[in-house]
Structure 1
Amino acid sequence: MPIAKIIATFAIFSSLSVSAYDRITGETFASRSEVIAANGMVATSQPLATQVGLDVLKQGGNAIDAAIAANAMLGLVEPTGNGIGGDLFAIVWDAKTQQLYGLNASGRSPKSLTLEYFKEQGMNKIPSHGPLPVSVPGAVDGWFELHGKFGSLPMTTLLAPTIDYAKKGFPVTELIAWYMQRSVPILSKFDGFKETYMPNGATPQKGQIFTNPHLAVTLEKIATGGRDAFYKGDIARSIAAYMKEQGGFLSYEDLASHTSDWVEPVSTNYRGYDVWELPPNGQGIAALQILNILEQFDIEGMGFGSAEYIHTFVEAKKLAFEDRAKYYADPEFNQIPVDWLISKEYAQQRVKLMDENNAAKRIDAGINQGDTIYLTTADKDGNMVSLIQSNYRGMGSGMTPTGLGFILQDRGEMFSLEEGHFNVFAPGKRPFHTIIPAFVTKNAKPWLSFGVMGGGTQPQMHAQIIVNLIDFGMNLQEAGDAPRILHSGSSEPTGERMLDGGYISLESGFSAKVRRQLLHKGHVLTDVSGSFGGYQAILHDAKNGVYYGASESRKDGQAAGY
């Protein structure tokens, strides 16, 4: 090859290498491109579920239809995070009315179970597994509420792909196989778990075809019989009978009386963008409280990844989470000062408690003045859905009703047993919830639908995504791929208090110098702190008439459009 051609070829490859390097946002991580499409977009935590949602859009279904279909599929292919034994929350942008709608499809505690029962048993905390933490599963009712208000295709069409996969099987991913195997030591002792998830004596391995014929039958009954097939039919009777056998309290009457609630999303404005969350019993307003505090600082000037930014973020989070521990609970049982907690005036008071040089070791809540899945969809007409759904603690309580193909949630563990606490256990009460969908509008128009799954991680990551996009100018994929800050050890709605300021876990990408600076400010750093969350997002580009999609690089997520 002539030397000139060799030099020219080398120059081409060098330019390609430089372009790839330029995609790095300033730290030691890189990001792939966003997905861009004009007619519709689906982003979920599992590729097969994304494809199911996308197929629904291509069949003429809208974003709500696609969200229901994808959620049903996730319950099959990702049982380690969700399923029809869990709860659901959603925020919907309706293109027709140009409004946001919020749905709280979380269930309540058994009406026959009392606080006195736990005291008689000598318990100071509700168990994490078994029959006692089980609350009414709200997801199926949530599907039908969404479908009744906004859906277009029949439910039989929306559930058909999952039913087919449940019968014929699907290959299990490496990550889900790992999570399922981890559940065995805890959950395999409960009746029904092995029958459903260990048909050959073990949970499925990576690449193994897994079927769930019991779930297929259950979904067929729901598809043809509607929500009452689940809450008032044979499924409800089977659940109640199983729970009674296991020494539980969830009854047929608890299921039959369940209702979801349409609620008004609440918001704060962050540097010109309206960030929307659902009010308690969820923790979404914690993200709004964090943003209200951060807005009072020059975050952009601090720079992404700086010790100054990380310190400011963590101290703001501590303030918000103390209020979360005290006030966030079922609004039907409490007067929760939501408007005050998310007000700019309150944030201005709270920020005075922050020290720019020292980490707070203990903070009190303010004074009252007045593993999970996340998915998002968008369609050609401009409808967008932000939906989150969970069993809590991965696969849930371990209570696997005979012949139904799913596990009941253990969300009731989140109740406090401390008398007088906002979140204290009571019959027929919704527990504090960690799962939260989010939405952002700009000038009263849809801009962003997003969520980050992962327990108490979620409000922290919601705020970080917003800051990454608005203050640091990252694109949608970069905002999710950027290394994350996770503070743990705050006071909890179960009554546990923060000790010694908690601790910070930083993903790789933050420098050793920054870590040393944080230690000098009095922070405790650890490399073991649990999940950094799972991110999905869709951004609407009104100027070009397209959607941008992004998905989590830490999990199995996929964004796809057409």
Structure 2
Amino acid sequence: MRDFHLPGRSPVLAEGGMAATSHPLGTLVAIETLRRGGNAVDAAIAGAVLLGLCEPQMTGLGGDCFALLKPAGTEDILALNGSGRAPAGADPEAIRREGHESIPLHGVEAVTVPGAVDAFCKLSDAHGALGIQDTLAPLTRYFEEGIRVAPRVAFDWAEAEATPQGAARDLFLKDGRAFRAGELFALPGQAEVLRRVGEHGRDGFYAGEVAEDMVAALRAAGGSHTVEDFAATRCDWTDPIFGSYRGTEMVEHPPNGQGATAILMNAILSHFDIASMDPLGSARAHLEAEAAKLAYDARNRLLADPDHMARLEHMLAPETAEKLAAMIDPTRAMAAATPLTEAIHKDTIYITVVDRDRMAISLIYSIFHSFGSGIASDRFGILFQNRGAGFTLEPGHPNELGPGKRPMHTIIPGMLREGGRVTMPFGVMGGGYQPNGHARLISNLVDFGLDPQSAIDAPRSFSEAGSMKVERGYSDAVRAELAEMGHAVEIPETPLGGAQAIRIDEAGYLEGASDPRKDGCALGY
């Protein structure tokens, strides 16, 4: 239990249903959807779509999503890959000839066809209770009338105000500057898109005038995208992957997401007695940093579109983790792994919902970098993701850009299962940090017995690209000890990630947790 003398959040407890997101309106709309007869799938779709208005720098209809779903009445988990593909005309050699060593972050080359809308429609058709039209209809007024910009959203907006270009500047900037906290922001063109998706399903987005508007904007920017690329977009049901940490099973989405990285990192850390360490001490932070370097290096070498990779079993094999753990010196930092050519960044939203029938969904939805590619369509204002920056230009690499391929994704939904029972859908936003965030969260729960809210609140650290980011929640003494071990320590300007979770207690009630690093909350009834 937290110290009530100090600032903090208590867990949210409820029985009928619960939602947790990074913005209060997203959570509220999800709860309203449940209370008017929707189930967890309907609520997650409604909340996620509204977050594209509440946090437009993080997500939107021009992005991708992944989902893990536990249907009511079973402990089985389904996985849905809602990520789009590179256009048929993608040409890595042409980009290399232009002198690029990586995909330009804010160029049309980085725009993959958005997959999220197809995934939402497929989820609704297969497992929703309301239907996609009924689910989306209450959202249009928010897009037309606008919502007030929240403080953390304004902070992120200001950091990325140079990214929107062309038509996107008129939509996502106010008089040429970032929107500020309390100002009204609307996307009326997207309200019309929601009506068309409601009426026509996926074809309201991937065909007709909306698709033509998107293709025209991308072609004007020099892209090879065609209406055929959009019409061909299909998300896929697939099988989750699993890993165990001290008796708790962590369920992850398979590649092209990076969930395997979290499983490998946990497996490496299981070779050390983390529970005997100070949870906020240098020894634990050091081991976590070293495990991350090794797990992320494996990710960079192996993970890609599942149709183009063949070494997932090797990455998840116990002997792989054992060999990597043996490379860690508990007293000294190793050199950082080779920096990525593919881009890693932090901008994502995550939503989890559990309904009264205990259907549970873990859904993550993103346009990758803040404001994605910075390119938007002229008529309907669809902002395009830059997920193609997740490809590499290294010839022959399984994650090399190619026609119709899916890039390696940073976004990963998660679930925990104990004794065969799903106990917690959860997610940790933060781009490349996400596998580290999953490993840290499960360790906080299992090794140190923290409740989900305390486990999310606890300070974080992350080693990437040659530096070790250590949040201000750590002491200066710990930072000094980490520096003595050879880490290049810095305090990050932006906090590391953001998380949401709902624990399904064996007694039948729900316990929600929401990260104070974001504007959002958990609500239940």
* Separation in 1, partners of 2:387, 2:495: 18
Q: Does 1:176 align with 2:150?
A: no
Query: 1:311 aligns to what SS in structure 2?
Result: helix
Whether the 8 Å contact between 2:214 and 2:382 is mirrored in structure 1 is no
Q: Does 1:450 align with 2:426?
A: yes
Whether the 8 Å contact between 1:415 and 1:424 is mirrored in structure 2 is yes
* Separation in 2, partners of 1:430, 1:277: 18
Whether the 8 Å contact between 1:465 and 1:479 is mirrored in structure 2 is yes
- Tell me the amino acid that sits aligned with residue 516 of structure 1: A
Alignment partner, residue 201 of structure 2: 226
Deviation at 1:250, TM superposition (A): 1.7
* Separation in 1, partners of 2:2, 2:402: 56
Whether the 8 Å contact between 1:114 and 1:425 is mirrored in structure 2 is yes
Deviation at 1:397, TM superposition (A): 0.6
- Tell me the amino acid that sits aligned with residue 202 of structure 2: R
Alignment partner, residue 352 of structure 1: 326
* 2:228 paired residue among 253, 259, 262: 253
Q: 1:488-508 deviations in whole A, cap 9, x for unaligned?
A: 11xxxxxxxxxxxx2211112
Query: 2:50 aligns to what SS in structure 1?
Result: helix
- What are the within-5 Å matches in structure 2 for residues 437-476 of structure 1? 437-476=413-452
Whether the 8 Å contact between 2:90 and 2:403 is mirrored in structure 1 is yes
Deviation at 1:221, TM superposition (A): 0.8
Q: 1:387 to 1:416 in 2, by over 3 A?
A: same
Q: 1:374-405 deviations in whole A, cap 9, x for unaligned?
A: 11000000100000000011111111101212
Query: 1:387 aligns to what SS in structure 2?
Result: strand
* Separation in 2, partners of 1:58, 1:475: 27
* Separation in 2, partners of 1:476, 1:297: 23
Q: 1:389 to 1:195 in 2, by over 3 A?
A: same
* Separation in 2, partners of 1:517, 1:209: 46
* 2:38 paired residue among 49, 58, 61: 61
* Separation in 2, partners of 1:34, 1:42: 12
Q: Does 1:504 align with 2:468?
A: yes
- What are the within-5 Å matches in structure 2 for residues 69-468 of structure 1? 69-187=46-164, 190-198=165-173, 202-335=177-310, 337-362=311-336, 371-468=347-444
- Tell me the amino acid that sits aligned with residue 555 of structure 1: K
In the comparison of the two structures, how many residue pairs are matched? 518
Deviation at 1:177, TM superposition (A): 2.6
Alignment partner, residue 538 of structure 1: 502
Deviation at 1:200, TM superposition (A): 5.2
Alignment partner, residue 492 of structure 2: 528
Whether the 8 Å contact between 2:2 and 2:8 is mirrored in structure 1 is no
Q: Does 1:518 align with 2:482?
A: yes
- Percent identity (aligned): 39
Q: 1:456 to 1:442 in 2, by over 3 A?
A: same
Alignment partner, residue 524 of structure 2: 561
TM-score by length of structure 2 reads: 0.95
Q: 1:183 to 1:509 in 2, by over 3 A?
A: closer
* Separation in 1, partners of 2:78, 2:66: 11
* 2:457 paired residue among 466, 473, 481: 481
Deviation at 1:283, TM superposition (A): 0.8
- Tell me the amino acid that sits aligned with residue 407 of structure 2: P
Q: 1:554 to 1:199 in 2, by over 3 A?
A: closer
Q: 1:532 to 1:397 in 2, by over 3 A?
A: same
Moved more, 525-534 or 422-431: 525-534
- Tell me the amino acid that sits aligned with residue 303 of structure 1: D
Query: 1:186 aligns to what SS in structure 2?
Result: coil
Deviation at 1:202, TM superposition (A): 4.4
Query: 2:326 aligns to what SS in structure 1?
Result: helix
Moved more, 440-449 or 159-168: 159-168
Q: 1:187-232 deviations in whole A, cap 9, x for unaligned?
A: 2xx2211332236554433212222211111111111111011112
Whether the 8 Å contact between 1:23 and 1:31 is mirrored in structure 2 is no
Whether the 8 Å contact between 1:268 and 1:343 is mirrored in structure 2 is no
CA RMSD across the alignment? 1.7
Q: 1:360 to 1:20 in 2, by over 3 A?
A: closer
Whether the 8 Å contact between 2:217 and 2:378 is mirrored in structure 1 is yes
Whether the 8 Å contact between 1:304 and 1:472 is mirrored in structure 2 is yes
Q: 1:247-282 deviations in whole A, cap 9, x for unaligned?
A: 112211111111111111101111111101111111
- Tell me the amino acid that sits aligned with residue 332 of structure 1: D
- Tell me the amino acid that sits aligned with residue 513 of structure 2: A
Moved more, 409-418 or 203-212: 203-212
- Tell me the amino acid that sits aligned with residue 348 of structure 1: E
Q: 1:299 to 1:469 in 2, by over 3 A?
A: same
- Tell me the amino acid that sits aligned with residue 183 of structure 1: A
Whether the 8 Å contact between 1:90 and 1:387 is mirrored in structure 2 is yes
Query: 1:486 aligns to what SS in structure 2?
Result: strand
Deviation at 1:358, TM superposition (A): 1.1
* Separation in 2, partners of 1:339, 1:429: 21
TM-score by length of structure 1 reads: 0.89
Q: 1:433 to 1:457 in 2, by over 3 A?
A: same
Query: 2:364 aligns to what SS in structure 1?
Result: strand
* Separation in 2, partners of 1:247, 1:556: 37
Moved more, 354-363 or 548-557: 354-363
Segments of 5+ residues of structure 1 without an aligned counterpart are: 1-18, 25-29, 366-370, 490-501
Segments of 5+ residues of structure 2 without an aligned counterpart are: 340-346
- Tell me the amino acid that sits aligned with residue 119 of structure 2: G
- Tell me the amino acid that sits aligned with residue 449 of structure 2: G
Deviation at 1:451, TM superposition (A): 0.6
* Separation in 1, partners of 2:385, 2:245: 35
Deviation at 1:528, TM superposition (A): 3.3
List structure 1 segments (4+ residues) > 6 angstroms apart after TM superposition. Answer: none
Q: 1:430-456 deviations in whole A, cap 9, x for unaligned?
A: 011001100011111110111111111
**Higher-Rg member (1/2):** 1
Q: 1:44 to 1:22 in 2, by over 3 A?
A: closer
Q: 1:327-349 deviations in whole A, cap 9, x for unaligned?
A: 011111221x2222122222112
Alignment partner, residue 492 of structure 1: none
* Separation in 2, partners of 1:546, 1:175: 31
